[in-house]
Amino acid sequence: MHRMRILVPLLALCALAVGVAPTAAAEPLPSGVPEVGLATPAEEALLQQQLAEAMPVIATYKGKKIDLADGWQGAQACSEVATGEVYCYDSAEEADQALASIAPAAGGTPEGGAASAKGSGDFGPTAIGDCLYRWVCLWEHSNFTGRRLQWQAGGTKQLSTWDFRDKASAACVNRDQGGLLAYDARTAQPDPYMALGVGYCYKFTDSSYPYGGTFNDKVDYIKM
């Protein structure tokens, strides 16, 4: 009988910081296997305090301000830059092109190469690595398509304020250090989490869930 380990998420996040970093010419690998565990009561209490302080996410889309909690109004890609500002676009390709001027330091590879991790300009089912270097990305579908949500800034993110709660099916962590902890909020049970290391992409349909099944469409909040 498999014995499930109870892990301390903060320690897991520290361990992810020394994970495998993406190289200049390579996209993140699509074969990452996350470490899975349960949040301790103390860690969960701290996270819930941080989530209670979450503010509405107001994004700029087509020159207008929208509250993402009310929907993306047709946008397909939303990005939070290091300053905390959020921008949304009609496609991932349009978002990457715009971010080259809005957040130019975020668009290069470790050696100043192509803007996207894949570097080919392709988008869609084959573009697993289409997550900008120094960014963390979530996708709506497990084949790395559908709406894409990404962050340059760290912190604890309440996905309901981003209209992405229980909607994430894939992720890439395309940066040199600092991984991602993705949680499912549970009532009267410890919150399960996935620890995603740097330099890898993940399909949540392939990630085991501590209470049975997979993590697909179960992530409620993240910490990075």
66, β-bridge pairs: 59
Residue 116 has a pLDDT of: 42
Amino acid (1-letter code) at residue 143 = N
Residue 214 has a pLDDT of: 97
Strands 148-151 and 156-158: unpaired
- Coil vs helix vs strand at 58: strand
Residue 10 has a pLDDT of: 44
Residue 113 sits at φ, ψ, to 5 deg, of -85, -145
Residue 129 has a pLDDT of: 66
- Coil vs helix vs strand at 160: helix
Sheet holding 156-158, edge to edge: 35-38, 192-196, 180-183, 221-223, 156-158
pLDDT along the chain (224 residues), means of 10: 40 45 53 90 88 91 97 97 95 91 62 38 54 92 94 92 97 89 93 94 94 97 93
Q: CA-based angle 20:31:107, to the nearest 5?
A: 55
Residue 66 has a pLDDT of: 98
The pLDDT tens digits for 122-135 are: 445 545 668 888 89
173 closest CA partner among 11, 52, 21, 61: 21
Q: Which residue has the tokens 């349009």?
A: 94
Domains of the chain: 9-223 (2.60.20.10)
Give the pair of three-digit tokens for residue 173: 């962590």
Average pLDDT over the chain, rounded to whole?
81
181, β-bridge pairs: 195, 223
Residue 50 has a pLDDT of: 85
Residue 106 has a pLDDT of: 54
Where do the DSSP E strands lie in the chain?
35-38, 58-61, 64-67, 77-80, 86-89, 135-139, 148-151, 156-158, 170-174, 180-183, 192-196, 200-203, 221-223
d(CA 108, CA 24): 9
Residue 23 has a pLDDT of: 41
The pLDDT tens digits for 19-28 are: 444 444 356 7
Residue 26 has a pLDDT of: 52
